[in-house]
Chain A
Amino acid sequence: MSDAIVTVDNCTKTYSRGAERVEVLKGVSLQILRGEFVALIGPSGSGKTTLLNLIAGLDQPTTGRVIVAERDISRMDESQLARWRTTAIGFVFQFYHLIPVLTAYENVELPLLLLNMTAKRRREQVLTVLHLVGLQHRLTHRPGQLSGGEQQRVGIARALVTDPALVVADEPTGDLDGRKKEEILDLLENLQRGLNKTILMVTHDHVAAARAHRLTRISDGLLLEERADTKEEALALAFPDAKIRGND
């Protein structure tokens, strides 16, 4: 059995805008191994979010296959994908996207409502993940009563609560600054280390990218094959401006 948790096999994605056809992904192939922390980087409009959507089962490739946790999701219908996502994928959003009328506890509990689970088991699971992200004292707070960093922690707890095979994070620190950004990155890193979670993170930010084990760069719908022996070299290639600042 392969140790790859994600296999993207020669995927293309084309959108139609009236008569115009826009090819966003032009034959992308990618493998992510179990327990890896991969950062997907690239400029705006390069196709990274589209690739993330394909891997998370939010969209279908025009051609090619996407296999996640040993299941070919590229031909599943919408209902099958929704069922599959509940347990296979944990999604962390840039803008948290918590349900504003629900408490932190209820937000985290939401995906579990779709699973056949006793109330007691559900409670245990929710409390465990909220403890894991350090929000055990904020159970009854609504998103509006939490800071940005805390909201993102709730978002991460919600992504983890079903114990998914893959955590997908789309710019998870994009709406945070300074210390809060570091805290979220620390948390993701600890989760990856402590729970051996596979994390795929899309980011523009070199600080966030630096925390990943592996960088994958996408440009104009193609994954770039770069000869970098170390992560530092890859970072330098991906964020030349950051390198310049680092040398100052």
Chain B
Amino acid sequence: MLFKFAILVVKSLGRNKVRTGLTSLGVMVLVAIFSVVTNVTSVVKSKVNAQGEQTRLIVSERWTMPSRVPLRYIPEIAGQDGVADWTTMNFLMGFLDESRRRDRQAIAIATRPDNLREMHEGARGIDDDSYDAFLTRKDAALVGPGLLKTMNYQVGDSFTLLAARFPPIDIEFTIVGVLPPGEMSNGFFCRHDYYMEATDDRDAVNCILVEIEGAERAKELAAGLTLDYENRQPSLKVETESAGVARFAARSQAVLQIIDGVVAILLIDMIIILSNSISISVRERRVEMAVLKVLGFQPLHITLMIIAEAMLVGGVAGLLGTGMVCGLSQLTIHEVIPVMAWNKFLLQFPVPWSAAIWGMLIGAGVGLTGSVIPASSAKSVKVSDVFSRIA
């Protein structure tokens, strides 16, 4: 019997295909935007919320931007009790061609090559061959897929990073491998030793990243090192990586709140679109509702039927909308479609397939909310009133 009701619901939606199609399309687009936006914000928020387990310290210069941490500090810091590993980071900003256009801009991290995969999340999935090449070749660059696509580079190509700020030196690199999609999608890793050689900047790094054995020890060490280096020149700021992310996130809190507001507006929009469409449909079918009541359908049956119609439209549109974004995301990551300005962000914030299920549930939820008023109006159709009007 439920199956027959389902058929009735599906067929009812088919009576005005244009309206159902347009409503679905509207919800589909909104769910797609919704899923992309919430995916980006949830990635940012999850980074912030992952604080509790952080065992990494970022050591930077206390008062100067960009930070300059003397290399002579490294043996002292690395020799502390509880330090499991460490690396250095220098951030290079530059352009990839003389046009110096914004989309030709790139950021590079010059770092220790021997523990790249251990110390940098963005390099964790790099394959062995690329990594071996990175260890072997001094001018090696491991390039993000977005950057590779934008510049139409291939592994083996050489390119020059034209300096945008300090140090004012153009540096040539050779691509030895491609990074997995993620945070470094539009950047690249290079070797710190090569950076020093190329720039003659041998005294300091922008920051030191230190891996500590245990979160508790990391907190102790952060406090201890800050105190130890307070009166030295230059003095240092030591904080857990999560605290750094949180500080960054706090600055962008207002932006995240605005985005949350936009997401809420999207949801309300979807509810209005669906509610409007279902209301029109109910108004057109008042006689039909009355007939169903004459045949013995209870007000609850009518209510459920209307709600089911709205949930079906919302759910299917949600599944298709998010599925489309997930598909685009996968096609972009696997380089089936070219990376351009409109889809470049998908490399940094890939939408997982599981999001399609969420999209469907959100769509169905929107359908449920949007159909409450029309369903209540449908169930209260008074048979004698409807037929007296026809007569």
Q: Is A58 within 8 A of B297, CB to CB?
A: no
List A residues 49-72 near B (Cβ within 8 Å): 49-50, 53, 56, 58-59
List B residues 248-303 near A (Cβ within 8 Å): 287-288, 291-301
Q: Which residues of A contact B166 (CB under 8 A)?
A: none
Interface string of A87-123 (1 = CB under 8 A from B): 1000101110101111000100111011000000000
Q: Does B232 contact A (CB under 8 A)?
A: no
Q: Is A82 within 8 A of B384, CB to CB?
A: no
For residue B15, which residue of chain A has the nearest CB? A101
Q: Which of B12, B295, B298, B300 contacts A91 (CB 8 A)?
A: B295
Q: Which residues of A contact B4 (CB under 8 A)?
A: 109, 113
For residue B288, which residue of chain A has the nearest CB? A99
Report the bound CA distance from A101 to B387 in whole Å. Answer: 21
Q: Does B124 contact A (CB under 8 A)?
A: no
- What total of chain A residues lie within 8 Å of the partner, measured CB to CB? 30
Q: Is A49 within 8 A of B11, CB to CB?
A: no
Q: Which residues of A contact B7 (CB under 8 A)?
A: 106
Q: Closest Cβ of chain B: how far from A146's Cβ, in Å? A: 17
Q: Is B294 within 8 A of A79, CB to CB?
A: no
For residue B287, which residue of chain A has the nearest CB? A97
Q: Is B298 within 8 A of A101, CB to CB?
A: no
Q: Which residues of B contact A85 (CB under 8 A)?
A: 294-296
Q: Is B299 within 8 A of A114, CB to CB?
A: no
Report the bound CA distance from A50 to B388 in whole Å. Answer: 9
Q: Closest Cβ of chain A: how far from B306's Cβ, in Å? A: 15
Q: Which residues of B contact A50 (CB under 8 A)?
A: 384
Q: Which of B11, B15, B294, B297 contacts A56 (CB 8 A)?
A: B294
Q: Is B287 within 8 A of A78, CB to CB?
A: no
Q: Closest Cβ of chain A: how far from B253's Cβ, in Å? A: 51
Chain A facing B: main interface SS: helix
Q: Is A114 within 8 A of B297, CB to CB?
A: yes
Interface string of A196-210 (1 = CB under 8 A from B): 000000000000000
Q: Is B291 within 8 A of A97, CB to CB?
A: yes
Q: Is B298 within 8 A of A79, CB to CB?
A: yes
For residue A103, which residue of chain B has the nearest CB? B11
Q: Is B294 within 8 A of A100, CB to CB?
A: no
Q: Does B18 contact A (CB under 8 A)?
A: no
Q: Does A158 contact B (CB under 8 A)?
A: yes
Q: Does B156 contact A (CB under 8 A)?
A: no
Would A158 and B295 be within 8 Å (CB), given that A49-B388, A97-B287, A97-B288 are in contact? yes
Would A58 and B294 be within 8 Å (CB), given that A101-B11, A101-B12, A101-B14 are in contact? yes
Interface string of B37-79 (1 = CB under 8 A from A): 0000000000000000000000000000000000000000000
Q: Does B383 contact A (CB under 8 A)?
A: yes
Binding site for B on A (CB under 8 A): 49-50, 53, 56, 58-59, 78-79, 82-83, 85-87, 91, 93-95, 97, 99-102, 106, 109-111, 113-114, 158, 170
9 A-B residue pairs with CB within 8 Å: A58-B294, A82-B296, A83-B298, A85-B296, A86-B295, A94-B391, A113-B5, A114-B295, A170-B387
